[in-house]
Amino acid sequence: MATPDFVLELRRHVGHSMLWLSGCTAVVLRGRDGAAINWQAPIDPSSVEVLVVQRADNHAWTPVTGIIDPGEEPAEAACREILEETACQARAMRLLSLEVVGPVTYENGDQTTYLDVAFACEWLSGDPFPADGENTQTMFVPGNQIPQMNNRFTRTIARAFSGEQAADFRR
């Protein structure tokens, strides 16, 4: 489901006007060959795999992203998005960052700015596939072979590898 029902309802009232929404980004990691991940230390990218998706709308590679539903806990939203988009189950392990994304203007003229909450997540189970139609491909890739992504996603994945326990925010 690309656009949540609550956003469609809001759009009935505000048209294409700017909406301020909460979003989440989930950097899902799993140890290569079943190895455990030490979440308290820097992570060697060659020792893990990262779950990536290729978006159906613009074909860009990204971590899993989504909109947080009203009243939903951000970490639960990240895990829900992972399941909906890739059919994998994961657990949020660490808050990576908070940042404003946008403004974004979509092809239909809708305008949105997001407060994005990014998490490092641990893969628990499932073989990824494009479960909800938002993506054309989903797969685990070696952490040292991430497909080209925009600066925000590259920075967020690097933050997941850093082992830094404090969340990053812009000053």
Quick: pLDDT tens for 60-97.
999 999 999 999 999 999 999 999 999 999 999 999 99
Cβ neighbors of 47 (< 8 A, separation 6 or more) are 31, 32, 35, 37, 143
53-57 average pLDDT score: 95
Quick check: 171 pLDDT over 60? no
C-alpha 24/C-alpha 29 separation (Å) is 16
C-alpha 100/C-alpha 152 separation (Å) is 11
Q: State percent of the chain over pLDDT 70.
A: 98
Position 1 scores a pLDDT of 52
Position 10 scores a pLDDT of 85
List the one residue out of 138, 117, 134 whose CA is nearest residue 126: 138
142-150 average pLDDT score: 98
Mean pLDDT value across the chain: 94
Cβ neighbors of 95 (< 8 A, separation 6 or more) are 75, 117, 118, 119, 167
Domains of the chain: 19-34+42-96+112-162 (3.90.79.10)
C-alpha 130/C-alpha 7 separation (Å) is 23
Confirm if 131 and 86 have CB atoms less than 8 A apart. Answer: yes
Position 61 scores a pLDDT of 98
The Cβ of residue 71 has, within 10 Å, a number of other Cβ atoms equal to 5
